[in-house]
Structure 1
């Protein structure tokens, strides 16, 4: 069979600029202001900018944020390593508690086995990808059991009908809300965080059922429902998204 070669086209509106702090991945959009973020995987620079702004202005904007970039990269360095194909981390947090992750190759266990004891997760599998699938499914079951309790409790506390709740893997968001469908999606990786930080994201998405935008009314809803939510906001950045 002939091997088909597919041509990769650049993403529309995306360009790359050289900069002393690292290459800038620049995406121009119909927006009024510049926005800078760091890729959680490697600390690379990502900038969204108005369509007509010059490359020089973008570089100057990044230079003006040098101290912030340095502090964020140091924070990223302290996070657990991002999970990549062919490798599992040697530790993983579940609901804020750290567990050692031990994998054993075993060709006789066709479907693999996962056993959690105390502060260790043991996995027997025929390969890394099977182990990763077992770990992800275990996390999904644990997370669903928690959400089945926490989401209805918070919805009742906020005087809302309980929305449909689903779990999915997300690369850059902790949760989303479909207001019309009254459905919230929560990132599987929240299973790694303390329950108090998970509650923050649940309340945030439920608050969108009251107020669509991030405005004073929205934050008023959050303050009334969960007065301590700001204490747990930094936890989201500390744990980050690692590609579970």
Structure 2
């Protein structure tokens, strides 16, 4: 018998579901000491991590005690922009903080389609939604890269840093990541939807990691010196959220 088999078995989370007036609770029992509650950002469903021997009634009572918080978080989720799905595009889209109508017209044949944009609307003509999404992402990527080509050297200079390599990619849960060894920063395509001041917050955050790896006092001191107003833009990231751009 493998001497580590019991240890491995105990490390696997135990998943279950509990009925509750606030919605079904998705429970994972783990080797932890405290109860933790979060809402799934996609549908607002309840997710609880609990110590392994926590009885169902304790989890039920814990969720009940957080009812007001759950209501507030669900209200915030409801105010987020509509996500991009396989079956439709949202009717409106923010670009650099400015709201635009998003109009799609289906065309006949197999043309590559086209996208036009002004101060009020983004208009897409394409034979299908898949192509429309590609055109939209390409346009957003070009806009974001053009902005970053200005903002990253600006902030890097203020922080006395050589300009790192900057790449843009689609991300589901993060606004940016930093590879310190490679001196490379990845930034989320979704940033193109935010006001420039909020984009600056993410840029400064990732640049600060090139000075201090961890999220400690020194790290936030670097951010405070470089961008004193960064905290006032934190809530903007949550308000815009990720829509699957």
Counterparts of 1:146 and 1:84 in 2: how far apart (Å)?
Answer: 27
Mapping for residues 8-19 of structure 1, pairs under 5 Å: 13=13, 15-18=15-18, 19=20
Q: Say whether residues 1:111 and 2:130 are aligned partners.
A: no
Equivalent position SS for 1:25: strand
- Please give the alpha-carbon distance, in whole angstroms, between the structure 2 residues aligned to 1:199 and 1:86: 33
Q: Secondary structure at the match of 1:123?
A: strand
Q: How many equivalent pairs are there?
A: 233
**Structure showing greater Rg:** 2
Structure 2 unaligned regions, length at least 5: 1-11
Offset at residue 48 of structure 1 (A): 4.1
Which has the larger displacement, 41-50 or 104-113? 41-50
Contact 1:14 1:25 in 2 (8 A): no
Which range is displaced more, 96-105 or 213-222?
A: 213-222
Question: Does the aligned pair in 2 maintain the 1:41–1:242 contact within 8 Å?
Answer: no
TM-score with structure 1 length normalisation?
0.87
Structure 1 residue 140 and structure 2 residue 148: aligned? no
Range with greater deviation from structure 2 (123-132 or 176-185): 176-185
- Asked if structure 2 preserves the Cα contact closer than 8 Å seen for 1:16 and 1:23, the reply is no
Deviations 1:6-32 (A, max 9, x none): xxxxxx636242233222334455655
Gaps of 5+ in 1: 1-11
* Aligned residue in 2 for 1:4: none
* Residue pair 1:139, 1:188 contacting (<8 A) in 2 also: yes
Residue aligning to 1:75: 76
Match of 1:42 in 2: 43
Rate the CA distance shift 1:185–1:71 in 2: closer, same or farther, 3 A: same
Q: TM-score, normalised by structure 2?
A: 0.87
